[in-house]
Protein backbone atom coordinates (compact mmCIF):
# COMPACT_ATOMS: atom_id res chain seq x y z
CA UNK A 1 0.00 0.00 0.00
CA UNK A 2 1.11 3.53 -0.70
CA UNK A 3 2.16 5.50 2.34
CA UNK A 4 3.93 8.61 3.52
CA UNK A 5 5.74 8.57 6.83
CA UNK A 6 7.00 11.46 8.88
CA UNK A 7 8.70 9.71 11.80
CA UNK A 8 8.98 12.80 13.99
CA UNK A 9 5.74 14.09 15.42
CA UNK A 10 7.37 16.92 17.29
CA UNK A 11 10.78 18.62 17.05
CA UNK A 12 12.17 21.36 19.24
CA UNK A 13 15.05 23.38 17.88
CA UNK A 14 16.91 26.45 19.07
CA UNK A 15 16.78 29.58 17.00
CA UNK A 16 19.78 29.68 14.71
CA UNK A 17 20.30 25.94 14.83
CA UNK A 18 19.86 23.67 11.84
CA UNK A 19 16.68 21.73 11.20
CA UNK A 20 16.02 18.50 9.39
CA UNK A 21 12.59 16.95 8.97
CA UNK A 22 12.31 13.41 7.73
CA UNK A 23 9.93 12.04 5.15
CA UNK A 24 9.80 8.53 3.75
CA UNK A 25 7.40 7.21 1.18
CA UNK A 26 6.31 3.90 -0.18
CA UNK A 27 5.05 4.08 -3.73
CA UNK A 28 5.22 1.87 -6.77
CA UNK A 29 7.07 4.46 -8.80
CA UNK A 30 8.79 7.72 -8.02
CA UNK A 31 6.00 10.09 -7.12
CA UNK A 32 5.91 13.83 -7.13
CA UNK A 33 7.12 15.08 -3.73
CA UNK A 34 6.14 18.17 -1.82
CA UNK A 35 6.76 19.91 1.47
CA UNK A 36 4.11 22.23 2.86
CA UNK A 37 4.06 24.43 5.94
CA UNK A 38 0.96 25.28 7.93
CA UNK A 39 0.85 28.03 10.51
CA UNK A 40 -1.87 27.86 13.19
CA UNK A 41 -5.33 28.21 11.70
CA UNK A 42 -3.93 28.75 8.23
CA UNK A 43 -3.98 26.89 4.97
CA UNK A 44 -0.97 25.21 3.50
CA UNK A 45 1.90 27.00 1.85
CA UNK A 46 4.13 25.16 -0.57
CA UNK A 47 7.78 25.25 0.47
CA UNK A 48 9.20 23.21 -2.38
CA UNK A 49 8.52 20.35 -4.73
CA UNK A 50 10.34 17.67 -6.66
CA UNK A 51 9.14 16.41 -9.99
CA UNK A 52 12.34 15.32 -11.70
CA UNK A 53 15.91 16.40 -12.37
CA UNK A 54 18.27 17.70 -9.73
CA UNK A 55 17.64 15.79 -6.53
CA UNK A 56 18.51 18.75 -4.31
CA UNK A 57 15.61 21.16 -4.43
CA UNK A 58 15.67 24.73 -3.22
CA UNK A 59 12.51 26.25 -1.83
CA UNK A 60 11.23 29.38 -0.22
CA UNK A 61 12.23 30.73 3.18
CA UNK A 62 15.69 29.16 2.95
CA UNK A 63 14.47 25.56 2.92
CA UNK A 64 15.87 22.80 0.79
CA UNK A 65 15.09 19.11 0.38
CA UNK A 66 16.95 16.19 -1.06
CA UNK A 67 15.33 13.33 -2.90
CA UNK A 68 17.10 10.02 -2.32
CA UNK A 69 15.62 7.30 -4.45
CA UNK A 70 17.58 4.52 -2.77
CA UNK A 71 16.16 5.47 0.60
CA UNK A 72 12.71 6.54 -0.62
CA UNK A 73 13.23 9.72 1.31
CA UNK A 74 12.67 13.42 0.79
CA UNK A 75 14.04 15.15 3.87
CA UNK A 76 13.60 18.86 4.45
CA UNK A 77 16.44 20.98 5.80
CA UNK A 78 17.16 24.51 6.86
CA UNK A 79 20.66 25.60 7.95
CA UNK A 80 19.54 28.23 10.46
CA UNK A 81 16.06 28.31 11.92
CA UNK A 82 14.19 31.52 12.66
CA UNK A 83 11.47 31.89 15.29
CA UNK A 84 8.97 32.39 12.48
CA UNK A 85 9.66 28.85 11.28
CA UNK A 86 7.63 27.44 14.16
CA UNK A 87 4.75 25.66 12.44
CA UNK A 88 3.46 22.31 11.28
CA UNK A 89 5.25 20.77 8.33
CA UNK A 90 3.70 18.24 6.01
CA UNK A 91 5.34 16.03 3.46
CA UNK A 92 3.08 15.01 0.61
CA UNK A 93 3.35 12.73 -2.37
CA UNK A 94 1.37 12.72 -5.56
CA UNK A 95 1.03 10.13 -8.24
CA UNK A 96 2.15 11.13 -11.67
CA UNK A 97 -0.75 11.68 -14.01
CA UNK A 98 -3.24 11.74 -11.16
CA UNK A 99 -4.32 15.34 -11.72
CA UNK A 100 -2.82 16.46 -8.46
CA UNK A 101 -4.21 14.01 -5.93
CA UNK A 102 -1.97 14.08 -2.87
CA UNK A 103 -1.36 11.90 0.13
CA UNK A 104 -0.06 13.66 3.21
CA UNK A 105 2.16 12.53 6.00
CA UNK A 106 1.06 12.96 9.59
CA UNK A 107 3.00 16.17 9.97
CA UNK A 108 5.85 17.36 12.18
CA UNK A 109 5.30 20.11 14.68
CA UNK A 110 8.35 22.37 14.92
CA UNK A 111 8.88 24.45 18.03
CA UNK A 112 11.61 27.08 18.01
CA UNK A 113 13.14 28.12 21.32
CA UNK A 114 15.09 31.34 21.92
Partner 1 sequence: GAVVSQHPSRVICKSGTSVKIECRSLDFQATTMFWYRQFPKQSLMLMATSNEGSKATYEQGVEKDKFLINHASLTLSTLTVTSAHPEDSSFYICSASASRGGVAYNEQFFGPGTRLTVL
Interface residue list for partner 1 (CB under 8 A): 32, 34, 36, 41-46, 49, 51, 90, 94, 96-107, 109
Q: How far is CA 12 from the centre of its chain?
A: 16
Give min distance, CB of 8 to partner 1, in A.
14
Q: What are phi and psi of 70, to 5 degrees?
A: -65, -25
Query: C-alpha dihedral over 20, 26, 31, 33, to 10 degrees?
Result: -20
Burial of 57 per CB tally in 10 Å (0-12, 13-18, 19+): buried
Residue 71 vs 98, nearer CB to partner 1: 98
Instruction: Let me know how many helices (H) and strands (E) the chain has, helices first.
Output: 0, 12
Give min distance, CB of 69 to partner 1, in A.
18
Residue 58 vs 80, nearer CB to partner 1: 58
Give min distance, CB of 62 to partner 1, in A.
21
Residue 15 vs 104, nearer CB to partner 1: 104
Give min distance, CB of 112 to partner 1, in A.
18
Residue 100 vs 114, nearer CB to partner 1: 100
Cβ–Cβ under 8 Å, residues 80 and 104: no
Amino acid sequence: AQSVTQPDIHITVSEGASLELRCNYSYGATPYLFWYVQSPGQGLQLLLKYFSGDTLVQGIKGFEAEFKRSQSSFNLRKPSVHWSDAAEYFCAVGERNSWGKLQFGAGTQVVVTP
